[in-house]
């Protein structure tokens, strides 16, 4: 396991939640992946509409709660795909704009490794949500989802469980010591056959922006049925 993970785990443990930006008029060059079906095309904003320099604001708790309640509907999109292909797995990153009246004005998919029908269905489910009206007008929210088979015993689930267990076993008041303990504990738990899955999880986490990692872990633990992970509390 690479030494860079010490900083990574500290970020995961100390930075909470989802990314959330105030709406703006600036544009981003980030490519949109996971193109939707034709029926849902009007539900997805283009990359040109995405604000890239919007001021970051704290993630509203009511948005977190509403998205948690919406997970069942979004999971249903994945379950429908599983009925046709039992091996469907992947992740997608959604970015959506909550308007001044609390409705979702636009949904973007900057990244997706899922079949387009799953991505489009999940985007529709997000668009159907209604939130409390933002205090400062329109607000952009970013939220990743991970979809995987619910067995809970896959290598991916075991790698995630190992990370959560390592975090739970780390004690003390010194942040540096906690970081080192989590890093060492995860490396020990990942030894042997589990190492490739742990390396893949590490690569996924490092590819995310720091503010997105806790949201990614929260979604991942929910999908794999892992409760009480210290990294998402």
pLDDT tens across 183-216, in order?
899 999 998 888 998 999 999 888 888 888 888 9
Same domain for 107 and 86, yes or no, is yes
Q: How far apart are the first and last CA of the chain?
A: 25
Same domain for 76 and 158, yes or no, is no
Query: Which of these three, 96, 121, 147, is where a domain ends?
Result: 147
Query: Which of these three, 104, 130, 147, is where a domain ends?
Result: 147
Rounded to 10 degrees, the C-alpha dihedral 22/26/27/28 comes to -60
- Please identify which residue in the block is written with the tokens 């390592």: 166
Query: Which of these three, 117, 147, 177, is where a domain ends?
Result: 147
Q: What is the pLDDT of residues 114-159, one digit of tens each?
A: 899 999 999 999 999 999 888 878 889 888 887 766 545 578 888 9
For residue 233, is it within any domain?
no
pLDDT at 16 over 70: no
Q: Please name the helix (run of DSSP H) or strand (run of DSSP E) that holds residue 178, with its range, or none.
A: helix 175-189
Residue 224: its pLDDT value, please? 80
pLDDT at 59 over 70: no
Bigger pLDDT: 64 or 208?
208
The answer to which of 23-37, 150-164, 176-190 has the lowest mean pLDDT is: 23-37
> What CATH number should be reported for the domain holding residue 53?
3.30.1150
CA distance 104 to 107: 7
Q: Domain of 197?
A: 5-15+151-228
Same domain for 122 and 214, yes or no, is no
Residue 104: its pLDDT value, please? 94
Residue 27: its pLDDT value, please? 34
Mean pLDDT for 212-225 is 86
The answer to which of 41-45, 93-97, 197-201 has the lowest mean pLDDT is: 41-45
Distance of CA 31 to the CA centre of its chain: 18
Bigger pLDDT: 65 or 105?
105
Q: Give the pair of three-digit tokens for residue 72.
A: 């069942």
The answer to which of 27-31, 99-103, 134-138, 214-218 has the lowest mean pLDDT is: 27-31
DSSP secondary structure, 197-230, as one string: HHHHHHHHHHHS-HHHHHHHHHHHHHHTT----G
Q: Which of 163, 125, 194, 228 is nearest to 12 (CA)?
A: 163
Radius of gyration of the chain from its Cα atoms, rounded to whole angstroms: 18
CA distance 122 to 208: 20
Task: State residue 44 phi and psi, 5-degree precision.
Answer: -120, 125
Enter the pTM of the model: 0.46
Q: Give the pair of three-digit tokens for residue 209.
A: 């922006």
- Please identify which residue in the block is written with the tokens 């039992």: 86
| DSSP state, residue 44 | B
């Amino acid at each position: 396991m690479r030494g860079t993970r010490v900083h990574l785990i500290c970020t995961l443990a100390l930075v909470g939640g989802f990314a959330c930006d105030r709406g703006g008029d600036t544009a981003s060059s980030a490519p949109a992946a996971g193109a939707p079906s034709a029926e849902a095309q009007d539900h997805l904003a283009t990359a040109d509409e995405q604000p890239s320099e919007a001021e970051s604001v704290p993630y509203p708790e009511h948005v977190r709660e509403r998205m948690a309640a919406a997970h069942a509907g979004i999971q249903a999109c994945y379950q429908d795909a599983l009925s046709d292909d039992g091996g469907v797995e992947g992740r997608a990153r959604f970015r959506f704009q909550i308007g001044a009246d609390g409705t979702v004005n636009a949904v973007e998919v900057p990244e997706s490794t899922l079949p387009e029908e799953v991505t489009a269905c999940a985007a529709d489910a997000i668009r159907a949500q209604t939130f409390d009206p933002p205090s400062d007008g329109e607000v952009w929210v970013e939220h990743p989802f991970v979809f995987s088979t619910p067995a809970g015993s896959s290598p991916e689930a075991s790698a995630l469980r190992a990370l959560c267990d390592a975090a739970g076993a780390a004690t003390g008041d010194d942040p540096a010591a906690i970081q080192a303990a989590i890093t060492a504990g995860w490396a020990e738990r990942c030894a042997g056959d589990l190492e490739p899955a742990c390396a893949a999880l590490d690569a996924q986490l490092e590819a995310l922006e720091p503010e997105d990692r806790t949201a990614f872990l929260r979604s991942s633990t929910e999908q794999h049925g892992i409760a009480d992970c210290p990294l998402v509390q």
